[in-house]
Amino acid sequence: MKVTLIAKTSPITEHFPKADRPWYSPSGLERIVCSTGKNCTGKFDDKLGVDEIDKFNHLNVNKLKHDSLLEHYQFTFRIEGISRACSHQLVRHRHLSFSQTSQRFISVLGSENPLFDVVIPEKFKDNDEAMVIFAGALAACKEAYYELRELGFKKEDCRSISPQCHKTDIIVSGNARALKDFFRLRLWGKGVQNEIKVLATKMYNIVESYGNFFDEKYS
């Protein structure tokens, strides 16, 4: 599994004249949250210093839970090599946006060894009997898929035989509030399935430097 941040909201420097350094100190997210919060009180201010921004954001977002301020900043990730079972869980977070690789355009289990095309559940890997059963099921799926293709059926019909463990790539976009909710459920929540927890951890490790809004104690 690989997670890459490919885009984020970029504040326009003419509206933030003190932006003479990278947007990480404080981050663009922190500046936008503070400025939009100030706007709610009729005191919009884009020239506040780091300490003032930290104080305002901690009080209004982390303590008073004015999370709507987080909706003004968006992140976009490219996620490679998760299972379709994981992606089915991911797309339930409807405040995020998704563009996923379609099996209408790629072949199912196209590698010589079908194990290369799937995400193997961690609990199977150390159990030889489980791996034999798993590999056998994949081989049967692959054989059936290509037999159907040879009969002239289109990929969009034959993909119905694809296993949920088949790897997929997906682009995910969402504002900081939606991500905070995602982390609350999939990273800090109880009984979370391992693969999506790993995904949530990788996404969290990318965005945590943009502000402490995502910390477990503030979720």
| Catalytically annotated residues | 186
Residue 81, Ramachandran bin (φ over 0: left; ψ between -120 and 50: alpha; else beta)? left
Strands 97-100 and 74-83: unpaired
Instruction: Kindly tell me the burial class for residue 135, based on how many C-beta atoms sit within 10 Å of its own C-beta (0-12, 13-18, 19 or more).
Output: middle
Is 219:180 a contact under the CB 8 Å cutoff?
A: yes
Alpha-carbon distance 73 to 32, whole Å?
A: 7
